[in-house]
Amino acid sequence: MKISLLISTCAAVALSMSSALAQTCASPFLWHFNPFAPVSDTTCGHETGITGLCAATNAPGQAFVAVVTIDGSGTFTQIVFNGGPGYTIATGLVPVASGCGDHPCTTVGDGTTPMIHPDIPPGQYYLIVTGADFDVPGACGTFTMAVNGSFPVTLQAFSVI
């Protein structure tokens, strides 16, 4: 009981600390897809050096940057985004090999369009959450991103009693 309480406390502290630290290209949030733990944060106070999203549009404000690893097994079907007041959420998935920032995106999403797993080849990506190019300069705000599917777990032991 004490061990599970300690583990729960440590996990809660670690999750609450993630939003206290700047999530930038140099220090991105490491998102391990867990359908039971959506990410809720803000774009305000994070990366300010991204001048465009997906090599096609201007980035009007600050960006939250996460690193995600996509495998080919299809453990999820989509990533859903919801933005808060003060800006219009825009997201892009940029291969880590390309670099963080204004590089071509593999796929995009927003508050009405999820990122779909079949559109994403296996690999490691920067998931950039920012405002839409038509927002006012400096626009930022809260967001939530969630993945559906299964949390990948490997069976370590099995017994029948």
Q: Which two tokens stand for residue 144?
A: 């939530």
Cα–Cα distance between 13 and 7 in angstroms, integer?
10
Cα–Cα distance between 64 and 29 in angstroms, integer?
8
Q: Does residue 104 contact residue 75 with C-beta atoms inside 8 Å?
A: no
- Domain ranges for the chain: 22-147
Top CATH class, 22-147: mainly beta
Look at the block and give the residue holding tokens 């809260």: 142
pLDDT of residue 9: 37
pLDDT of residue 99: 92
Cα–Cα distance between 159 and 124 in angstroms, integer?
36
Q: Which residue has the higher pLDDT, 30 or 157?
A: 30
pLDDT of residue 6: 38
Confidence band, pLDDT 50/70/90 cuts, at residue 38: very high
Whether 40 shows a pLDDT value over 90: the answer reads: yes
For 64, half-sphere exposure in the C-beta direction (CA atoms, 13 angstrom radius) is 28
Q: Which two tokens stand for residue 109?
A: 């999403």
